[in-house]
Amino acid sequence: MKKAKVLATLLAGVMVLSLAGCGSSPAPAATESPAPAATTEEAAPAADTTAAEPAAEASADAINLEMWCIATESDSNRHSYEAAIADVTAAHPEINFTWEAIENQAYKTKIKAAVAADEMPDIFFTWSCAFLGDFVAADRVYCLDDAYQNFKDELPEVMMGNSTYDGKHYGVPLTMNIVGLFANMDILSEVGYSEVPGSYDEFIACCDKLVEAGYIPFGCAGKETWCVTEYLESVIEKSCGADVLNDIFLGRASWNNEDVAAAVDTFQGMVTKGYFDPEGIALSNDEVKANFMAGKYAFYMNGTWNCADFSADADFGPKVKVSEFPVINADKAKLGQLIGGPSDTLAVAASSPNAEAAAQFTFELGRLICHYGYLDGCGLPAWTPFGDTSNINPLTQAVSEICAKADSYVLFGDTAMNADEANTYLSYVDQVYGCNIDGAGFVSGLAADIR
């Protein structure tokens, strides 16, 4: 029953996440909220029953709904989308549903051009917070408050926080993910570690030993700056504390902060000490991930959506452990301060001729994508889990345990900031990784350039 408890506490911990709208606020330590009964027996009504109910009320005429998302054939979420779509369309014969998946970068271009032209599909994938916020501010997104009433019991309102603007809900969250420190235990044991070192000093000592023994400690895709932020943001958070970082991301505090500068220097120190694969700067994340799975790196810090792919690999799965980045400055930061939160979201276009039906449909679809995604290990569920969850892979279970002890979450910087600021931020992160500027240059530059 350990798992059930974990899930409950996880939700309690996440509960507090982002009530303040976009971003996050400190969570009370996840307390001993009584675990609900085992998930299996108490499974929420099976998918199709809930799905069919509101459908019956819908008009008998065929409704065309179109969706755009990023679950391309190589995406680890692909299966959960396919399974969810199969279920929901079976339950809604009156809806003529079409969807297409577009590669991540191309999608960002495409959806923005579509919003500019007011030619959006009825339902579209979006990242929460600033990305969706721009569209909401332009009145292009349909408000989901009414449809949400039917799903209140299964979707905790706090999970909607990152897609809530002026108190109104605009997005259906799917999964939530945090940044995890993945470790290849085979390599660690070569230098005499059977666990991921828990304290920062030990961790650094371990990295030094790895370098000495000829191993590369970290793999990081320099070609995709968001991968660098997975490392950098964790270092800053564990040096300065979650509140400081969060206030900066949300524009409530200036970047000009000595602690942040020092943390950036700490990160850069890791780069100059050769902890990172020098070839990583020219590689994409897929390539780095493949290298990690091939045993080229000891650690890989990235989103917990990777749990699915790692576990699915019969050779590699048993070697990996996931943990939290150690605390660097215990005066300001503590364990349980994590980077992440619900970001993957579905939204409905205000221009959709069938927006009401689309809203209902989106909730049903989101609920199932979340369900199947959770079963696949693509992330933690934003919705209350149902069905048999006993087969969930051990890595994802370990992530739930980390989240269960969460103190607070800071959303990924490039999701929390608006597009212009996020890209300025990413370009400075790039320069830090390339050792063009130091911590002081980073904070002063950002303080000056963020409009």
Partner 1 sequence: MNKKVISTINIILFLLPALILFVGVLIAPIALSGYYSFFDWNGFGPKEFIGLSNYRELFSSNAIGFMKALRNSLLLAALSVFVQLPVSLGLALILGRGIKGERGFLAVYFMPVLISTVVIGQLWLKIYNPSYGILNVFLTKIGLESLTRIWLGTPETALGACFAPTLWQYVGYHMLLMYAGVKGVSPELREAAKIDGATNGQVNRYIVIPCIKPIIKVSVIFAITGSLKSFDLIYVLTNGGPLHATEVPSTLMINMLFLRNRYGMGSTIAVMLIILCFAFALLINRLFKEDR
Partner 2 sequence: MSAEVKVSMDLSLDQYQLKKESKVVKVLIYIGLALWTFINLFPIYWMFTFSLKDNKEIFGENVAGLPKHWLWSNYTSAMNTGHMNVYFVNSIIVAVATILITLIAALMATYAITRMAWKLSGTVNAFFMMGLTIPIHASIVPIYVTLSRIHMLNTYWALIVPYAAFALAMAILICSGFMGDIPKDLDEAARIDGCGVWGIFFRIICPLMRPALATIGIYTFLQCWNELMFANIFNSKDALKTLPVGIQALSGQYTTNWGPIGAALVIATFPTLLVYVFLSKRIQESFIAGAIKG
Return the residues of window 161-200 that contact partner 2 according to CB under 8 A: none
**Beta strand pairing status for 216-218 and 297-303?**
parallel
User: Measured between alpha carbons, how far is 243 from 249 in angstroms, rounded to an integer?
Assistant: 10
Return the residues of window 117-146 that contact partner 2 according to CB under 8 A: 117-119
Q: Give the shortest CB-104-to-partner 2 separation in angstroms.
A: 8
Q: Give the shortest CB-87-to-partner 1 separation in angstroms.
A: 33
Written as six digits, the tokens of 227 are 């991968």
Give the residue with the Cβ less far from partner 2, 352 or 397.
Answer: 352
* Of 115-123, 244-252, 263-271, 314-322: span binding partner 2 (CB under 8 A): 115-123
- Binding residues vs partner 1 (CB under 8 A): 108-109, 112-113, 115-116, 118, 134-135, 137-138, 140, 222-223, 278-279, 281-283, 418-420, 423-424, 427, 430-431, 434, 436, 445, 449
Confirm or reject binding of residue 312 to partner 2 (CB under 8 A).
no
Which of these, 326, 324, 325, 318, lies nearest to 293 by C-alpha position?
Answer: 318
Confirm or reject binding of residue 201 to partner 2 (CB under 8 A).
no
Give the residue with the Cβ less far from partner 2, 22 or 293.
Answer: 293
Which of these, 409, 374, 385, 320, lies nearest to 5 by C-alpha position?
Answer: 385
Q: Which does 74 bind (CB under 5 to 8 A by kind): partner 2, partner 1, none?
A: partner 2
Please select the residue that binds partner 2; options are 86, 116, 138, 330, rule is CB under 8 A.
Answer: 116
* Of 13-21, 72-80, 145-153, 372-380: span binding partner 2 (CB under 8 A): 72-80
Q: Give the shortest CB-71-to-partner 2 separation in angstroms.
A: 13
Per the CB < 8 A criterion, the answer to whether 124 and 347 are in contact is yes
Give the residue with the Cβ less far from partner 2, 74 or 194.
Answer: 74
Return the residues of window 246-285 that contact partner 2 according to CB under 8 A: 284
Confirm or reject binding of residue 100 to partner 2 (CB under 8 A).
yes
User: Measured between alpha carbons, how far is 300 from 292 in angstroms, rounded to an integer?
Assistant: 7
Q: Give the shortest CB-223-to-partner 2 separation in angstroms.
A: 10
Q: Give the shortest CB-377-to-partner 1 separation in angstroms.
A: 29
User: Measured between alpha carbons, how far is 121 from 351 in angstroms, rounded to an integer?
Assistant: 9
Per the CB < 8 A criterion, the answer to whether 362 and 126 are in contact is no
Please select the residue that binds partner 2; options are 48, 154, 287, 430, rule is CB under 8 A.
Answer: 287
Q: Give the shortest CB-294-to-partner 2 separation in angstroms.
A: 9
* Residue 277 CA from chain centroid, whole number: 24
Q: Give the shortest CB-317-to-partner 2 separation in angstroms.
A: 18
Q: Give the shortest CB-99-to-partner 1 separation in angstroms.
A: 22
Q: Which does 319 bind (CB under 5 to 8 A by kind): partner 2, partner 1, none?
A: none
**Beta strand pairing status for 337-342 and 297-303?**
unpaired
Give the residue with the Cβ less far from partner 1, 58 or 114.
Answer: 114
Strand partners, 340: 178
Please select the residue that binds partner 2; options are 109, 189, 254, 427, rule is CB under 8 A.
Answer: 109
Using CB under 8 A as the criterion, what x/- string covers residues 32-71 for binding partner 2?
A: ------------------------------------x---
Give the residue with the Cβ less far from partner 1, 121 or 222.
Answer: 222
Q: Give the shortest CB-212-to-partner 1 separation in angstroms.
A: 23
Confirm or reject binding of residue 351 to partner 2 (CB under 8 A).
no
Q: Which residues bind partner 2 (CB under 8 A)?
A: 68, 72-74, 100, 102-103, 106, 109-110, 113-114, 116-119, 284, 286-287, 290
